[in-house]
Amino acid sequence: MSCGRIAAGMRMVEVRLLGPVEVQTDGEVLDVGASRPARLLLALLVADRRRLDLDRLVERCWDDDERPDDPTPAVRTTVRRLRRALGDDAVITRTGGYELDPAALDVDVDRFDELIAAGRAASDPVAAVTSFRRALDLWRGRPFGELGDLDWLTPERIRLEEAHLLALEGWHDAHLRNGTATEIIPSLESATAEHPMRERFHRQLMQALYLADRQADSLRAFQDYRSAMAEAGLEPGPETVVLEQRIVERDPSLMVATQGRPLRGYRIIERLGEGAFSIVYRGTQPSVDRDVAIKQIRAELANRPDFIRRFEAEAHMVAHLEHPFVVPLYDYWREPGSAYLVMRLLSGGSLESSLLDGRWDVERTARMVDKVGSALAAAHRSGVVHRDVKPANILLDDQGNSFLTDFGIALTESELMEPEAALSAGSPAYASPEQLRREPVGPSADVHGLAIAVYEALTGRLPFPDEPNQAALLRRQLHDPIPSVRSSRTDVPVAVDDVLQRATAKVEADRFQTVEEFVAAFEAALGAAPAPAPGLGSATVVPTQERNPYKGLRTFDEADAGDFAGRERLVDQLLAGLATNRFLAVVGPSGSGKSSA
């Protein structure tokens, strides 16, 4: 939805959709008539400045059993009634249909989306608090009121309801960053009661209570949540368990601000997010003047051998996976009490955050499948299964290219059959049935995760968004096929449904066994390969046995000497130095070429 403001004479027309449908001018509520003019208004708004033809208007304004025999005069009568409320210029007649003047209305949904985006982008927690609060103040209840159950409105209603919860979580996070945790404790207590299965609310409540010097209450909140989960046959997620341990140990990093802190040749600018085992910051590398993402393993885990083993394994995995659409690793190191990965910072957010602004078109989705598919294929050829392919782990640059990240729970081929290989199921909403059953997994598990991400990109929602609890959701994921994409996207070819059904088959043997097969089938279902996005072009996977000479962060040895040229002068200088000195140190930033010299 995208409309602006206009003063029609002295009138300002406002449309309020975040609750029962309401139209106001200068504070006075206008009568848009019975439900049919309101349905016409919603149909034109959801069309987002596109013309709606007569057949589509009749379909959306009348139920099947009450459609008029002659729709033309009935639609004209409804348009006249809507114009009386909005102004004659608000509804424009086009050949064969109607559309809204994009500058004729002020729609609360547009301001809601803009304020949430501003809150997410704000590095200043005070600004974030303000933006999220203004967005939340626009919320009056269930979007579209009693009309929200209309089939064609349901996807937008679900998107807005999820955006509202994310805005509430963002508002809580901004207060936590701002040191004003006590102000949000009542809100968090209400949120955890109203949404008992939404785990992030419980973590925020635990942290707020701890920051308010109420450690015992914080730990009690965890115990209450764990008991509620146990009644449903579930357990708290790893992030919540780790937070409880940090609170027990009074982890000082829960209280310490990090903004602007120098760090071994880098400078931390702001905190971007956190996972079960690490915190991610935006930083800079002053020596080469570039922005980076810095991933820090949590302090309480930094000296535990099992976590350090996984941390170093991720570093080595990414360093070996030299691929244009795997987020590259610049540096990594360990030190007493901590460990770090430094990676490329991508400015376009993630697929997950992008979908808050609406579902993707088919062409954009096809480009994402092309690029992420090629990255996964490269990982699989190297014997690595990602196991956590989801929109949050698909990052975007400012040119629309998609990149795969977060190999934190990936497994190499040699680990896949080990008993402990099944201990992490990845993110349950995207995990394959064999992951949910804690069985050994292979590349087809990543095919499943990518297919669910494709479904969400095309529809704007997960396949099973309305289940009342996680236990019900897991039952459907284990046994029910995903719904048809075409139930909400008639512009998607029928063949795409067939491809996604096979890619998410409950029996592993019935799925595409390689990501190359899935990508090829998806592109064939669309009828053509995707047009390349600006900058990096197409990434369609072409298996190759050619040796890649690029070493990244891997160790160089004598056998690699033939891969380098133009270093003779530097090597002569180093040898001359060694001729007169017993010790010679080569110092420089990561990536400057020390190892290859």
pLDDT reported for residue 531: 47
Note whether 433 and 511 are within 8 A (CB). Answer: no
Residues with Cβ within 8 Å of residue 412, at least 6 apart in sequence:
313, 317, 383, 384
pLDDT digits (tens, 9 = 90+) for 105-126: 788 999 999 999 999 998 888 8
Give the pLDDT score at 545.
44
Q: Is pLDDT of 508 > 90?
A: yes
Write the pLDDT tens digit of every residue in 315-343.
777 777 888 999 988 888 877 666 788 99
Instruction: Tell me the C-alpha to C-alpha distance, in Å, between residue 130 and each of 46, 118, 123, 153, 170.
Output: 28, 10, 12, 30, 11
Cα–Cα distance measured from residue 139 to residue 135, given in angstroms and rounded to the nearest whole number: 7
Q: Which amino acid is at 174?
A: A
Specify the pLDDT at position 7. Answer: 41
Helix (H, G, I), strand (E, B) or coil at 435: helix
The average pLDDT across 221-229 equals 94
The residue count of the chain comes to 597
What are the residue ranges of helices labelled H in 460-493? 470-479
CA nearest neighbour of 25 among 142, 103, 127, 105: 105
How many Å apart are CA 230 and CA 224, to the nearest integer?
10
The whole-number pLDDT of residue 420 equals: 40
538 contact partners, CB below 8 Å, separation of at least 6? 370, 529, 530, 532
Nearest to 504 by CA among 485, 523, 491: 485
Q: Which domains are present in the chain?
A: 1-178 (1.10.10.10), 262-344 (3.30.200.20), 351-526 (1.10.510.10), 555-597 (no CATH)
Which active-site residues does the annotation give? 388
Chain-centre distance of CA 122, in angstroms?
18
CA angle 527, 530, 533 (to 5 degrees): 165
All residues at 6 or more sequence positions from 199 whose CB lies less than 8 Å from its CB, including other chains: 225, 236, 237, 239, 240
Whether residue 201 contacts residue 192, with contact meaning beta carbons closer than 8 Å, is answered with yes
Q: What is the DSSP string of 140-167?
A: -SSTTGGGGGSTTTHHHHHHHHHHHHHH
Coil vs helix vs strand at 281: strand
User: 314, 407 in Cβ contact below 8 A?
Assistant: yes
Does 463 score more than 80 pLDDT? Answer: yes
Q: For 273-281, what is the mean pLDDT?
A: 72
**Average of pLDDT values for 551-570?**
62
Q: In angstroms, rounded to a whole number, what is the distance separating the alpha carbons of residues 34 and 77?
A: 12
Burial of 340 (C-beta count, 10 Å sphere; 0-12/13-18/19+): buried
d(CA 107, CA 5): 9
Cα–Cα distance for residue pair 375/373, rounded to 1 Å: 5
What is the per-residue pLDDT for 88?
Answer: 79
b/e sequence 502-533, b meaning 16+ C-beta within 10 Å: bbbbeebeebbebbbbbbbbbbebbeeebebb
Q: Residue 93: is its pLDDT beyond 60?
A: yes
| Residues contacting residue 463 through CB under 8 Å, at least 6 positions apart | 452, 455, 482, 483, 504
Task: For residue 134, give the H/E element and its range.
Answer: helix 125-137
For 337, half-sphere exposure in the C-beta direction (CA atoms, 13 angstrom radius) is 3
Distance CA 167, CA 132 (A): 6
Q: Which two tokens stand for residue 217?
A: 């209450």
Average pLDDT value for the chain: 81
Question: Regarding predicted confidence, which is higher, 134 or 308?
Answer: 134
Report pLDDT for 209: 92
pTM score, whole prediction? 0.52
Look up residue 277 and give its two tokens.
């085992």
Does residue 30 contact residue 47 with C-beta atoms inside 8 Å?
no
Distant-in-sequence, close-in-space partners of 307: CB < 8 Å, separation ≥ 6: 277, 297, 301
**What's the maximum distance between 2 C-alpha atoms anywhere in the chain?**
100
Q: How far apart are CA 258 and CA 269, in angstroms?
A: 8
d(CA 215, CA 207): 9
Q: What is the dihedral of CA 50, 51, 54, 57, to 10 degrees?
A: 30
pLDDT of 168: 97
Provide the terminal-to-terminal Cα distance of the chain, rounded to the nearest Å: 57
Task: Grade residue 35 by pLDDT with cuts at 50, 70 and 90.
Answer: confident
Q: Assess whether pLDDT exceeds 70 at residue 558.
A: no
**294 vs 544, more confident:** 294
Q: DSSP letter for 350, please.
A: B
174 has a pLDDT exceeding 80: yes
> pLDDT tens-digit profile of 136-159?
999 999 998 888 888 888 888 999
Query: H/E element holding 342?
Result: strand 338-344
Angle between helix 199-211 and 185-194 (nearest 10) = 160
- In this prediction, residue 483 carries a pLDDT of 93
| Strand, helix or coil for residue 261 | coil
pLDDT in tens, 360-381: 999 999 999 999 999 999 999 9
**CB burial of residue 345 (10 Å; 0-12, 13-18, 19+):** buried
Distance, in Å, from the CA atom of 115 to the CA atom of 132, rounded to the nearest integer, reads 6
Q: Specify the pLDDT at position 126.
A: 82
Structural tokens at position 158: 């679900």
Position 518 scores a pLDDT of 96
